[in-house]
Amino acid sequence: MHANAANRLLHHYRATARDLPWRARPGEPAPDPYRVWLSEVMLQQTTVAAVTPRFLRFVERWPTVEALAGAADEDILGEWAGLGYYARARNLIACARAVAVRGGFPETEEELRKLPGLGAYTAAAVAAIAFRQQAVVIDTNVERVVARLFALTAKTDVRAAAEAFWPPEHSGDFAQALMDLGATICRPKSSACSACPLLPDCKAAALGTPEAFPAKAAKKAKPHRFGVAWWSRHGEAVRLVRRPPKGMLGGMAALPGPEWCSEQPAANPIAIVRHEFTHFTLDLLIVPADHDEGWWQPLAELAKVGLPSLYRKAVDAALAAEREPRLAA
């Protein structure tokens, strides 16, 4: 079953592959490893639709890994603003500089894993797609397709099944074929099984319950935290600081304020914004206060510093509260 199913999937991919700016079409020379690596870092927990315009802006501004390595941290972090998961941006900077020092990306999965911020998935993806190395690439889409194909309840069983299923050649195309299948046909909900080239072999489809695989873990309630952002405005400028290089939103521009905590602070905010992070939710209280740390940033030029979504919302809420004074939730 494995060889026939794999060949059918590759044939389907060659006919239906998505056009993405970091990809090479099936049969074309391998894509630039810089573009593959950059796209894979951006796509972690972020959709293709959100990444595509940001990717194009990045490669227009920094067309090579050497150009990115030579850029200022604050410029890269500012360009990253809005993509979230800011540890990725810090790892991006460290990795670009390590690659520039060594003169290029290594070609093997093992050597790629030694670069800053490259985990098992990204190293395998770059090795397979950019360097045509044999590597088993498992992202969320691949995991779901393999789990359904073999009716695997436990995600821990997916890798062994994927390794047995993976063809000895065309590893990069096969990985992207599975990614496309998971994104367009074998979706988390409302799978289009009738259009799937793997339907004749899919055990989950035969059972009539594809969406039951893999089993979903029960969601845990997220803890809640509180923060204070000091709102200091002078005419058409607002006071901003740069957050510490490590930790949440590390190195990003922000409104000044103390560290976040688990207890609601005693404050009289003009506005409150709620934000959801991966592991917790946050209520940020915007409180008027004089502050001399950081710099004055013209409101008309906020886009140039790349405020994270949390602080962009906070600025908007504060400005709205000034126009119509009231507590905004």
Domain match, 196 and 288 both: no
Q: How confident is the model at residue 1 (pLDDT cuts 50, 70, 90)?
A: low
Identify whether 204 is part of a domain. yes
Q: How confident is the model at residue 53 (pLDDT cuts 50, 70, 90)?
A: very high
Q: Give the pLDDT confidence score for residue 173 in this predicted structure.
A: 96
The CATH number of whichever domain residue 194 belongs to comes to 1.10.340.30
Identify whether 139 is part of a domain. yes
Which candidate in 40, 79, 109, 143 is catalytic? 40
Identify whether 217 is part of a domain. no
Structural domain of 285: 224-323
Asked if residue 241 has pLDDT above 90, the reply is yes
Average pLDDT, the chain: 93
Q: Domain boundary residue among 187, 212, 237?
A: 212
Identify whether 114 is part of a domain. yes
Domain match, 188 and 231 both: no
Domain match, 264 and 189 both: no
The CATH number of whichever domain residue 284 belongs to comes to 3.90.79.10
Domain match, 120 and 22 both: yes
Identify whether 115 is part of a domain. yes
Domain match, 206 and 231 both: no
Domain match, 59 and 179 both: yes
3-state secondary structure string, the chain? Answer: CHHHHHHHHHHHHHHHCCCCCCCCCCCCCCCCHHHHHHHHHHHCCCCHHHHHHHHHHHHHHCCCHHHHHCCCHHHHHHHHCCCCCCHHHHHHHHHHHHHHHHCCCCCCHHHHCCCCCCCHHHHHHHHHHHHCCCCCCCCHHHHHHHHHHCCCCCHHHHHHHHHHHCCCCCHHHHHHHHHHHHHHCCCCCCCCHHHCCCHHHCHHHHHCCHHHCCCCCCCCCCCEEEEEEEECEECCEEEEEECCCCCCCCCCEECCCCCCECCCCCCCCCEEEEEECCCCEEEEEEEECCCCCCEEEEHHHHHHCCCCHHHHHHHHHHHHHHHCCCCEC
Domain match, 303 and 268 both: yes
Domain match, 257 and 206 both: no
Q: Domain boundary residue among 212, 234, 250?
A: 212
pTM assigned to the model: 0.85
Nearest alpha-carbon partner for 328 in 255, 236, 214, 231: 231
Q: Give the pLDDT confidence score for residue 219 in this predicted structure.
A: 82
Q: Give the pLDDT confidence score for residue 152 in this predicted structure.
A: 96
Can 40 be counted among the known catalytic residues? Answer: yes
Domain match, 228 and 99 both: no
Asked if residue 325 has pLDDT above 80, the reply is no
Domain match, 147 and 228 both: no
Q: How confident is the model at residue 223 (pLDDT cuts 50, 70, 90)?
A: very high
Nearest-angstrom CA–CA distance, 253 and 251: 7
Q: Domain boundary residue among 179, 212, 245?
A: 212
Identify whether 218 is part of a domain. no
What's the number of domains the chain is made of?
2
Identify whether 328 is part of a domain. no
Q: Give the pLDDT confidence score for residue 27 in this predicted structure.
A: 86
Identify whether 151 is part of a domain. yes
Domain match, 19 and 133 both: yes
What pairs with residue 170 in β-bridges? none
Domain match, 56 and 167 both: yes
Q: What is the rounded average pLDDT of the residues 151-175?
A: 94
Asked if residue 197 has pLDDT above 80, the reply is yes
